[in-house]
Amino acid sequence: MYLSRFKQSGFRNLAPLNLEFDPHVNVFLGENAQGKTNLLEAIYFLAISRSHRTSNDREMIAFGQDFASLAGRVHKRQLDLDLRIVISKKGKSAWVNRVEQARLSKYVGHLNAILFSPEDMELVKGAPSLRRRFMDLEFGQINPEYLYFASQYRQLLQQRNNYLKQLARRQASDQVLLGVLTEQVATAASELIWRRYRYLADLNRYAAEAYRAISGQREELRVLYRPSAKEITAADQPAQIKQKLLDRFAEIADDELRRATTQLGPHRDDLEFQLDGKNAHLFASQGQQRTIALSLKLSEIQLIKQLTGEEPILLLDDVMSELDQNRQAALLNFIHGQTQTFITTTDLDSISQEIVKQPRIFYIHSGQIIEKEEGLNGRRR
């Protein structure tokens, strides 16, 4: 799939725009703080209905504006689609072919996008919340049920936490209501955890392949799910996961009341990356961490292809200068010139000529975007 046209108004510092993209490679060139990341974020938001860098949608509305509007035309093998999403101070609304979607989970998935940014280098050693966010963003866009259970889980978890606080402050005493909330939280949690295991199993295969290709080494990358309820295993079905969670909730009831917050579940689970069976969190070098992060992103492209039959679009935010020639070449091999790619950079020389033989180049300055007429190698398009 690819994005042929993109329109926006009111998004961060970007001037209203109506751009036509190349089906292969598009490069956005500009100095720091001109709007390159904002443009990639806008394209990502059009696809996923969430930002990769903030969970506060309001932040993305341009200063002094009431709403931001993003629209694009997507070409797939069998059909073309018009997508539109509007972010206002009250929330967001989304349209597919001018039909408003009742739920965002019905909208997400029409345009798949993988974004790779310098912050992804933190995936291995950074906070667990980054790895949970990674799963939620990637698995949510390939499975509407995942999105549905994730949002249900978030709401139920908040209700349960609020109720635990009321119990702790003795503003409530109904243990039966706590039991009902616990049961509901465990149901949504089990569906979410079960799907995380499922997609990680597929992701693992592709990630190991990508790691070998990029590093040129024989080290074996494995990604493991680390549930906060340690009894849960990859072989469990949702019903078993739910029962194990309920058993653990019963065991830690006093502790939860004391702390007035839910101690177990997908919001506390984590991922562990292993190289040849050793925990990468503890020993991986900068280079190995970078290769793990890139392998994960590339494996998502494969996973999306496997599940949807279509190539997602790839957004590379200022990462080319972080990748040496070999890693850039491995990246090139993986995308085979088939994946529509958007690259931001402050310096065209940081991009291997091979990757971008004849890209479409856009200059970004103070949120204004203009297309450059010549390709990287000076030839006119």
Binding residues for ATP: 30-37
Q: What are phi and psi of 94, to 5 degrees?
A: -135, 145
Write down the residue that tokens 């969970």 correspond to: 55
**Contact assessment for residue 116 and residue 314, using Cβ atoms and an 8 Å cutoff:** yes
Q: Which is nearer to ligand ATP, 1 or 60 (CB)?
A: 60
Q: Which is nearer to ligand ATP, 54 or 326 (CB)?
A: 54
Least Å distance, CB 36 to ligand ATP, is 4
Instruction: Identify the three-state secondary structure at position 360.
Output: strand
Going 176 to 179 to 185 to 186, the CA torsion angle's sign is: negative
Among 237, 286, 306, 346, binds ligand ATP (CB under 6 A): 346
Least Å distance, CB 138 to ligand ATP, is 22
Tell me if 35 contacts ligand ATP by CB under 6 A: yes
Which region, judged by CB under 6 A, interacts with ligand ATP, from 34-42, 92-100, 170-178, 197-205?
34-42
Q: In angstroms, how far is CA 380 from the centroid of its own chain?
A: 36
Tokens of 267: 């919001």
- Say which DSSP state 265 is in: S
Residues between 213 and 252 with contacts to ligand ATP, criterion CB under 6 A? none
Which region, judged by CB under 6 A, interacts with ligand ATP, from 17-25, 26-34, 245-253, 278-286?
26-34
Q: Which is nearer to ligand ATP, 325 or 346 (CB)?
A: 346
d(CA 86, CA 17): 15
Q: Which is nearer to ligand ATP, 32 or 78 (CB)?
A: 32
Tell me if 34 contacts ligand ATP by CB under 6 A: yes
Tell me if 52 contacts ligand ATP by CB under 6 A: no
d(CA 225, CA 222): 10
Least Å distance, CB 320 to ligand ATP, is 12
Least Å distance, CB 63 to ligand ATP, is 4
Encoded amino acid at 311, one letter = E
Among 19, 22, 25, 37, binds ligand ATP (CB under 6 A): 37
Supply the DSSP string of 126-195, one letter for each residue. S-HHHHHHHHHHHHHHH-HHHHHHHHHHHHHHHHHHHHHHHHHTTS---HHHHHHHHHHHHHHHHHHHHH
Among 8, 26, 38, 340, binds ligand ATP (CB under 6 A): 38
Least Å distance, CB 53 to ligand ATP, is 9
Residues between 284 and 343 with contacts to ligand ATP, criterion CB under 6 A? 318
Q: Which is nearer to ligand ATP, 68 or 203 (CB)?
A: 68
Tell me if 36 contacts ligand ATP by CB under 6 A: yes
Q: Cα separations (Å) of 67 from 27, 86, 105, 348, 354? A: 27, 7, 21, 34, 40
Furthest CA-CA distance within the chain: 75
Residues in contact with ligand ATP by the rule CB under 6 A: 12-13, 30, 32-38, 59, 61-63, 318, 346
